[in-house]
Structure formats: C-alpha cells, structure tokens
Amino acid sequence: MNIGNTLTIPLILLALALSCSTLHAASSEKHQMKAVAGGAGQAPVFAAMPGTGKKVPIGNGAYLIYGFDKKPKMGTIIMKIEAYATDGKRDTSLEVLGDSGMPSMRGAHETGDLPFKLSKKGDYLLPVNIVMPGDWEVRITIKKDGKVIFRGSHKFDV
C-alpha cells in the first residue's frame, strides 16, 4: 500500500470539514448581525409611552391614545389605538405595526411586526397573545406614506 494513498482520503475529509465549518461560521455571524442590528444599521429605539388612556404625541401635533379591551391577563387581549391628526380628527391613513413579546425572554415569544387592523369605527386593533405570566411589552411602529413617524413601547406585567 502506498503511503500517499493512505493519507489522501483523511486529508480530503479534513479539507471538507474545515471548509464546511468556515461556511457555517460565516452564515451564523451574518444571522447574528441581522438579529442585533434589526437587518441593517442600528436597532430601532422604541420610546416608553405614557400609560393607557393618555395622549401620546406622534409628531407634527398629531397624537394617539391607546389601551386594551380588558386588563392584560393570560389569553388574548386586544390593543386599541385611536390616532388623531393635528386638527383633532381621526387619522385612518396610517400604517400601524405591533410587535409583542417578553423583554426578559427576548426572542422566545416575539411576534414580529404585525399590522393593526382598522375597524369601522376608525380604531387600530391588534390581538396580543399572553402565553405566560411575567413581563410583557408591545412595541408600536407608525408609518405615514411609507415613512416611520413614531416608535413607542408599552410594558406591563401579567
């Protein structure tokens, strides 16, 4: 048996293993960068909103008032947002997105951005599924004409 043939197969396997692990590491690093940076650049900042039922300024004199259909508890609750333009009239021209989850278990229960549904009354509605007791947060993104005009966060305990 030739020594060259004996070493050839293990060397080929070693080369394959090294190239696969390098590819995996590069892929994993890209995924982690996207997760931390929110896909591109820095992660967006969500300002803490005042309590439910209070006016929350969203820019240029416009504001929103938010709340829930019932006290947050296990199960599904509905977050409701009423948006008002500078003239005090309801604004139903917005794109409102919500992402709910548990800050203490980031990544475990996040829904990702889901669109609020616009009701016939002009309320923006989002079901929020509370799957376990603990700290919860709903992060809201509001867009007008495709441009982000507001980001806010409401934290609560169940």
Write out the DSSP string of the chain: --HHHHHHHHHHHHHHHHHHHHHHHHHHHHHHHHHHHTTSSSPPP-EEPPPTTSEEEEETTEEEEEEESS---SEEEEEEEEEE-TTSSB----EEEEEEE-GGGTTTS----EEPEEPTTS-EEEEEEE-SSSEEEEEEEEEETTEEEEEEEEEEE-
What distance in Å separates the CA atoms of residue 87 and residue 62, rounded to the nearest whole number?
A: 8
pLDDT per position in the chain (158 positions), as tens?
Answer: 555 566 666 666 655 555 554 444 444 344 333 344 445 678 899 999 999 999 999 999 999 999 999 999 999 999 999 999 999 999 999 999 999 999 998 878 789 999 999 999 999 999 999 999 999 999 999 999 999 999 999 999 99
CA 133 to chain centre: 20
Tokens of 14: 């070693």
What distance in Å separates the CA atoms of residue 2 and residue 118, rounded to the nearest whole number?
A: 76
Q: pTM value?
A: 0.72
Instruction: Return the pLDDT at 16.
Output: 56
- Residues forming beta bridges with residue 46, ordered by sequence position: none
Tell me how crowded residue 128 is: count the other CB atoms within 10 A of its CB.
Answer: 20
Residue 38: φ, ψ to 5°: 70, 25
What are the domain boundaries of the chain?
1-43, 47-157
Give the dihedral of Cα atoms 89, 49, 116, 67; nearest 10 deg: -80
Instruction: Return the pLDDT at 19.
Output: 55
The CATH class of 47-157 is mainly beta
